[in-house]
Amino acid sequence: MQRKLTVVLALSSLVTAGAVGVATADVSELPVYGVTSSGLDQEQAQQLQRAFGLKDVQRSESGAVSFADEQRYQYLPTVDKGQGRPDEDGNETTQTALDTEALKRIRTISTEEATKRAQEGLRAAGVLPGNASPTAQHTTFELADPNGRNALTANLDTSVTYTFQLGGIPLEGEGANIRVSFDAQGVTAVSHAARTYDKAGTVKVNDLAYGAKLCQKYLGASVKAEASYVYVAAPLEDKTDKVEPSFRCTGRNDDGGAPQAITLPAAVGAELPQPGPGQEPRPQAQFKVQGAGTQVGSEGTGNCAGLPNTAANIGTFNTEAGNHGITRQFSWLDGNAWESDFKDPAFAGGDDTNWADDVDLTYWQGHGSGTGFYFTGCSNHTDDKLANTDARWGQNDVEWMSLFTCQVLEDSTGGQTWAQRWGQAFRGLHQINSFTTVSYNSANHGGKFGHYMWRSPFLWWNNPMKVRDAWAQASIDTQPASVRWATMGVYLPASGGLGNYDDYFWGKGSVGPDYASTGWFWRISGTS
């Protein structure tokens, strides 16, 4: 299930649509599907709550239902080690150590058992669409030693996610999202946002060769593009009465990296996404007063990189920050987004101490790979790719580098593991939040991330989430089941396993101190 009128990943490097199935077979017409129901009503939400034995569920006005157990959701056993060193702004910190023995004792249910329980619960509640198919995976915790070798792996929970089809063609989007997570005790989280459909005629569509050319035009010359058919399920809050076919655009960059994939209309004569107004060009040299207090920054490459939703997505992140009184120090888009903003000054042209490393959290969106992220087609200041080898973060300020891009934390590439590639970036940095797989270009991920991280409590629920949990939940809400989100950080075995596992954003809960890397790292990853 995807989630936003957006994107997908690139799985091959040919301008072709050679996969088997309806989505990759050329046709001249495809069905249009009318919406027969949208979301769950209050009675259905209560039935879902009873079926899984939940204390409560939250139901939005549009009928999206969610639940996350605030004690057991993606639980990692840690031990409070007392007060740590104040951070660079004088904020108090709390040290946390990994409880490895408790971690080893965690028992999760099998993927088969989780699937069985999810199916039974959703059927009992009467809220399992007939076009939904389950897959199950574990959320995992890993430790990597200084040689990049795996020193420990433990499953934290088992999650069942659903994919959808209409007439053999994938249905993807925020409005096609059902997910249930289990620990040994029972359900720890539920997401349910779906519609039901009936056929409502047909529409003439362009063929896949046309689609591949269209995808190439949007994604740019550096991407070897391919197209397949897909239906896009808009968020439930976007009132819609039908879905028409689209092209899913995927591909590979020249160096093997995968762009965020996008969706474009497939119907003959359909209106294509049009670029909105851009930012005024930023000056080449810029005097900037060093900020004080809690701050965030954002950057992204949008239309110039073939990503039509980036400006909207960055906007939702900025809006959430403003709504919660958090200062946004900078927000650069397209040609104003510069590689030098993320590069350490030790390297020619690097200026991260004035930008990405001069705020507490930096949020980025664009194309990426296991070895960096790209500004191709947008800017070349002072390069069009921020390589992992040029990253040295946390020496100045930044705690959480949040990279909404593809494959940054993938298991291995170029003969190096995730820890070997990105370990040198940790110079006081607490976490990198990103993905092990390709991610889908979204117009809402940043806003979801900010909401979960900064939201205000109401009665006994709606508490702010830890930064890593907020990243996971935003990705669950906006990405398909094929996408795995991930967070990595420093692990200090000689100091009893200290690390920044449980950081909240400043003012929302405890935050750990800055740690110098000793070559050991942890990673948590899970399915969307």
CATH of domain 294-486: 3.40.50
What is the rounded CA–CA span in Å between residue 487 and residue 467?
9
From 248, 284, 244, select the one nearest 267 (Cα to Cα).
Answer: 244
Which pLDDT score, from 0 to 100, does residue 10 have? Answer: 32
Structure tokens belonging to residue 431: 């976490």
Q: What is the dihedral of CA 56, 60, 65, 67, to 10 degrees?
A: -40
What is the rounded CA–CA span in Å between residue 266 and residue 206?
6
The whole-model pTM stands at 0.94
From 245, 199, 176, 219, select the one nearest 23 (Cα to Cα).
Answer: 245
Buried b (16+ CB within 10 A) or exposed e, 420-448: bbbbbbbbbbbbbbbbbbbbbbbbbbbbb
| Domain ranges across the chain | 22-70+108-145+156-265, 78-105, 294-486
Which pLDDT score, from 0 to 100, does residue 222 have? Answer: 84
Q: Would you say the C-alpha torsion 420, 422, 425, 431 has a positive or negative sign?
A: negative
pLDDT tens digits, one per residue of 158-171: 999 999 999 999 99
Which pLDDT score, from 0 to 100, does residue 253 have? Answer: 84
Q: Would you say the C-alpha torsion 62, 63, 68, 74 has a positive or negative sign?
A: negative
Structure tokens belonging to residue 198: 């009936």
Give the residue ranges of the chain where pLDDT is below 50.
1-20
Which pLDDT score, from 0 to 100, does residue 386 have? Answer: 98
Structure tokens belonging to residue 449: 């991330």
Assess contact for 10 and 250: CB atoms under 8 A: yes
